[in-house]
Amino acid sequence: MATTFTIDPVSRIEGHLKIEVTVDTVGGEQQVIDAKSSGTMFRGFENILIGRSPLDAPHITQRICGVCPVSHGMASCKTIEDALPLTPPANGRILRNLVLGANFIQSHILHFYHLAALDYLNTTGILDMPPWSYRYVTADMASGADAEHFVTSYLQALAIRRKAHQMGAIFGGKLPCCTSFNPGGCTDVAETGKIDDFRTLLTEIRTFIDTVFIPDVQLLGGIFSNYFGLGSGCGKLISYGVFDLDSAGTTKFLDRGIYDGSAVGTMDPSLISEYVGYSNFTSPSNLHPSVGETAVVADKVNAYSYIKAPRYGSDVYEAGPLARMKVSGHYSGGISSMDRIVARAEETKLIADAMDGWLNDLTVGADSYTQPTAISATVSGEGLTEAPRGALGHWISIGSDSKTSRYQVITPTAWNCSPMDDSGNKGPVEQALIGTPVNEVDQPVEILRVIHSFDPCLACSVHMLRPDETKPVQVIDVPAGL
């Protein structure tokens, strides 16, 4: 007999995500046969920006998320620079890459050690305290010496994440939410002492990545090799590209493109659209974000999420480190829950190693910022970049009064945790969950492993609680440690 239940909220992510699944026996195995991914809050940042100076946007949008604010600052700067147009000096471009790279590193380390790995570990008798208890304990979890090893690495990773924040703050002013990102470049400057301090921290972080992080991911992948065959999802990947290597932004360290399930191809931003058939919005469906609307409604029939459904050419696409690495030719593995974890770790090393070279490209004392000119005409712009969790786009329209008349954001988690579109096509997380085996319905750790492999960030996607949510058939209350 089929059982329907929710995990509400899913913890060890940023924000409030509800997952409803139906589990039944198929071919003698109990597995997920249906899934719904729901963002249970509304994000109003787009509406907050209307009527404000466009130059406010990079600093306001960084408050969308405390984990990946730098990416929002980058996307916002790029969309305003596209509208004006305005090109940052070389030093400004490089400094922004270095701050963004520091944010990627801390986020990737956070994901593995402090958000995802706990799904695989039984720390009973090792750490009997939050966040390690209350906990699910299943027969397949790593225990004993392996669990003790990961706990030691977990503690090391906390210190390394702090140092990654410290490193990014050298040129960012502070982290989270850096102050130096502005349209026209970076308002900090390259000085010898700052470069040396940055490199000292980077060297220590690179050593951790090489000697602890990568080996730990390989160890987990070896123990749980079956997860290379679970959570494949929609099978299509999208990347906007990130870390500009030239002033025009045409050459990127990690490429822009799509993987359509069989081959890598080019990505055309005009083919991006958002559907709202099952989302709590009243705007028309299938709008390009440049003309998108953010008009929310709480009681829409059949709607189950405050996240829209982004699609590329009307198809479902997954965003994230796996997409970037696959599109750029740096990852030859498959698409699965464990592939997402492995690709994320390998990307961490790739970025950290490249950052050491970017430091060498800085010219001490050179200009890093170009002051924007006055905005006196109706213009629009598009800013595409990548957050740690995947493709991030900002779109702006500026009126004749020099104020923002429209602003739209599509986050990585909007791609990955989207609900069904108007044609009934499920989002990437929903598709990835279907077919996942569940050994114990009251301890559905397998479901958490698939969800956490995407590293959802609901704070990026939604921002207001819906208080009258009707609960489904059965609810599992998940304690804070899980």
pLDDT in tens, 266-286: 999 999 999 999 999 998 999
Q: How many CB atoms lie within 10 A of CB 6?
A: 21
Q: Could you tell me which of 377, 383, 379, 371 has the C-alpha nearest to residue 397?
A: 379
For Cα atoms 345, 75, 329, give the angle at the middle one, nearest 5 degrees: 40
Q: Give the DSSP H/E element, type plus range, for residue 257.
A: strand 252-259
pLDDT at position 462 is 52
pLDDT above 50 (res 474): no
Report helix, strand or coil for 448: helix
Residues 6+ apart with CB under 8 A from 334: 228, 232
pLDDT above 90 (res 65): no
Residues 6+ apart with CB under 8 A from 428: 233, 234, 316, 317, 318, 415, 416, 417, 418, 454
pLDDT above 70 (res 127): yes
Give percent above pLDDT 90 in the chain: 86
473: tokens are: 């058939």
pLDDT above 90 (res 14): no
Band (pLDDT 50/70/90 cuts) for residue 460 is low
Ranges 210-219, 221-230, 317-326, 464-473: which has the least confidence: 464-473
Residues 6+ apart with CB under 8 A from 235: 261, 335
What average pLDDT does the chain have? Answer: 93
- 172 or 467: which carries more pLDDT confidence? 172
Question: Which phi and psi (to 5°) does residue 47 adopt?
Answer: -75, -30
Q: Could you tell me which of 212, 268, 216, 258 has the C-alpha nearest to residue 238?
A: 258
pLDDT tens column, 346-395: 999 999 999 999 999 999 999 999 999 888 789 999 999 999 999 999 99
Band (pLDDT 50/70/90 cuts) for residue 8 is confident
Ranges 35-44, 187-196, 227-236, 334-343: which has the least confidence: 35-44
Plot region of 314 (φ>0 → left; ψ -120 to 50 → alpha; else → beta): left
CA distance 45 to 408: 9
Q: Is the dihedral of CA 136, 137, 138, 141 positive or negative?
A: positive
Q: What is the mean pLDDT of residues 18-26?
A: 96
pLDDT tens column, 405-452: 999 999 999 999 999 999 999 999 999 999 999 999 999 999 999 999
Give percent above pLDDT 70 in the chain: 95
pLDDT tens column, 73-116: 999 999 999 999 999 999 999 999 999 999 999 999 999 999 99
Plot region of 155 (φ>0 → left; ψ -120 to 50 → alpha; else → beta): alpha
pLDDT above 90 (res 142): yes
pLDDT at position 372 is 92
pLDDT at position 199 is 98
